[in-house]
């Protein structure tokens, strides 16, 4: 299992478009589980509704965990999207 703390730098935080991009990019990866933890709330990384209702705004630190052969790739995708290195969201 791999995990990483990520600070969301997107101006509008984690909303529909970055959530959809993350799900689209990780859906075909070989991961057994993937979660985001904010405070004491743990959500499935493949659930757009859960991500959108997490309330993760700019500056929020989340913990992303992934397990499986492509766990490292999954973490990189999430980090790149939530730090603005991938995608364009206004």
| 12 part of the active site | no
Spell out the alpha helix ranges (H) of 1-90.
Answer: 16-26, 48-52, 71-82
For residue 54, give the DSSP letter. S
* Catalytic choice (2, 15, 17, 50): 15
Coil, helix or strand at residue 26: helix
Cα angle, residue 55 at apex, residues 23 and 46 outer, rounded to 5°: 20
As annotated, the active-site residues are 15
């Amino acid at each position: 299992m791999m995990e990483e703390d990520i600070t969301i730098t997107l101006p509008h935080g984690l909303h529909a478009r970055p959530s959809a991009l993350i799900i689209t990019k990780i859906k075909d990866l070989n991961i057994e589980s993937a979660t985001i933890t904010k405070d004491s709330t743990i959500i499935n990384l493949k659930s757009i509704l859960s991500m959108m209702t997490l309330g993760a705004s700019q500056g929020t630190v989340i913990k992303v965990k992934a397990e499986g052969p492509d766990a490292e790739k999954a973490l990189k995708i999430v980090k790149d999207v939530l730090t603005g290195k991938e995608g364009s969201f206004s």
